[in-house]
């Protein structure tokens, strides 16, 4: 008998199997995205990731109409059976866990709300449609106290390098992931072709920062000061899309967290910082023992799973 190790069987992500099944049913990436309430790029990302897991192409990309490869059809056929069984199991578990009803109240800051939270809520709603989910956007300083007062269940917050984080005393905190800061430059900037950019090389630039009530403004001032200069901030906006648009026109440069650059302006070059990297940690906070509530535990699982992909 051979003692050689057995090859590891493929481990397929259930959400990606759902995406592939929807693509097969709808006949196009766009139609599947509409049905799932995803972006087309998100659907394409899941298909590519599933192909990596399978080790084979699943759709014919050269065809004018969307066709499954032989491997893709086999996987869809099995996915139908697997997803049906999981749906039955999920229905039983929801009844046991109390997720056949109830509520979940979330709060988030903007850049997380546009990305990880939007996807988490969409996924949660598909899995647990009977749970009433509400979401509010703001600054952590505004809503963390509402978690303590049982007016919210989960709030996303952050901790910036070199800054005191918003007070979350008395709350349980789970670090989801680290979000590095990059420099946003006009695409024709003299440093745009560099693989990384040092802050001190931008001392003479005009800067675009968040408003003074935002942590990003204080962060920009602090890290530039540590680099030996005071940034000449001429434009302030808390909307990262607006910040990128201002950078694109050549009005200045900006520090942006990577999460805010997932949708990137075509005339903006984003480069990592040279030297010591600067990050903010994205954190989910809830009341002590709050994750014993089925809806809170389920959402925390969704958030941590999505964060692992980031």
- pLDDT given at position 62: 73
Q: How far is CA 264 from the centre of its chain?
A: 14
- What does the alpha-carbon distance between residue 305 and residue 310 come to, in Å, rounded to a whole number? 9
Domain boundaries, the chain: 14-96, 99-177+281-309, 179-277
CA angle 172, 310, 56 (to 5 degrees): 140
Helix (H) or strand (E) holding 126: helix 118-127
The pLDDT mean for the chain works out to 89
Query: 7 pLDDT exceeds 70?
Result: no
- What does the alpha-carbon distance between residue 269 and residue 251 come to, in Å, rounded to a whole number? 14
- pLDDT given at position 10: 59
Question: In 3D, which of 260, 170, 159, 177 has the Cα closest to residue 219?
Answer: 159
Does the 99-177+281-309 domain belong in CATH 3.40.190.10?
A: yes
Tell me which CATH code domain 179-277 carries. 3.40.190.10
Query: Tokens standing for 16?
Result: 């990606």
Share of the chain above pLDDT 90, in %: 59
Is 242 in a helix, a strand, or coil?
helix
Query: 213 pLDDT exceeds 60?
Result: yes
Q: Report the CATH architecture of 14-96.
A: Orthogonal Bundle (1.10)
* pTM given for the model: 0.70
Strands of the chain, DSSP E: 59-60, 67-68, 103-108, 132-137, 154-160, 172-186, 206-209, 232-236, 254-257, 268-272, 279-286
Q: Stretch 72-87: mean pLDDT, rounded? A: 88
Q: Stretch 241-250: mean pLDDT, rounded? A: 96
- What does the alpha-carbon distance between residue 117 and residue 113 come to, in Å, rounded to a whole number? 5
pLDDT by residue (tens digit) across 99-132? 878 899 999 998 898 889 999 999 999 989 999 9
- What does the alpha-carbon distance between residue 52 and residue 152 come to, in Å, rounded to a whole number? 39
Query: Tokens standing for 72?
Result: 């893709």
Cβ–Cβ < 8 Å for 211, 217 = yes
Domains 99-177+281-309 and 179-277 share a fold: yes
pLDDT by residue (tens digit) across 124-157? 999 899 999 999 999 898 899 999 888 999 999 9
Task: For 152, list phi and psi in degrees, rounded to 5.
Answer: -140, 160
């Amino acid at each position: 008998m051979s003692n050689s190790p057995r090859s590891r069987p493929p481990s397929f992500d259930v959400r990606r199997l759902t995406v592939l099944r929807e693509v097969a049913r709808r006949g196009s990436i766009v139609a599947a995205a509409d049905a799932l309430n995803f972006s087309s790029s998100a659907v394409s990302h899941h298909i590519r990731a599933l192909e990596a897991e399978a080790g084979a192409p699943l759709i014919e990309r050269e065809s004018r109409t969307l066709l499954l490869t032989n491997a893709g059809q086999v996987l869809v056929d099995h996915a139908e059976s697997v997803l049906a069984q999981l749906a039955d199991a999920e229905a039983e578990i929801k009844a046991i866990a109390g997720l056949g009803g109830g509520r979940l109240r979330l709060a988030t800051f903007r850049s997380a709300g546009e990305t990880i939270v939007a996807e988490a809520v969409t996924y949660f709603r598909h899995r647990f449609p009977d749970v009433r989910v509400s979401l509010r956007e703001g600054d952590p300083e505004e809503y963390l106290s509402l978690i303590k007062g049982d007016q919210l269940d989960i709030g996303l917050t952050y901790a910036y390098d070199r800054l005191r984080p918003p007070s979350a005393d008395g709350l349980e905190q789970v670090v989801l992931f680290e979000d590095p800061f990059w420099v946003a430059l006009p695409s024709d900037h003299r440093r745009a072709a560099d693989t990384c950019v040092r802050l001190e090389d931008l001392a003479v630039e005009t800067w675009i920062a968040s408003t003074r009530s935002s942590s990003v403004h204080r962060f920009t001032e602090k890290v530039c000061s540590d680099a030996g200069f005071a940034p000449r901030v001429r434009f302030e906006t808390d909307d990262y899309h607006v910040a990128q648009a201002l950078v694109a026109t050549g009005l200045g440069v900006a520090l942006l967290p990577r999460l805010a650059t997932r949708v990137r302006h075509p005339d903006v070059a984003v480069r990592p910082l040279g030297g010591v990297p600067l990050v903010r940690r994205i954190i989910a906070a809830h009341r002590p023992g709050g994750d014993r509530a089925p809806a809170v535990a389920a959402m925390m699982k969704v958030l941590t799973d999505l964060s692992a992909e980031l």
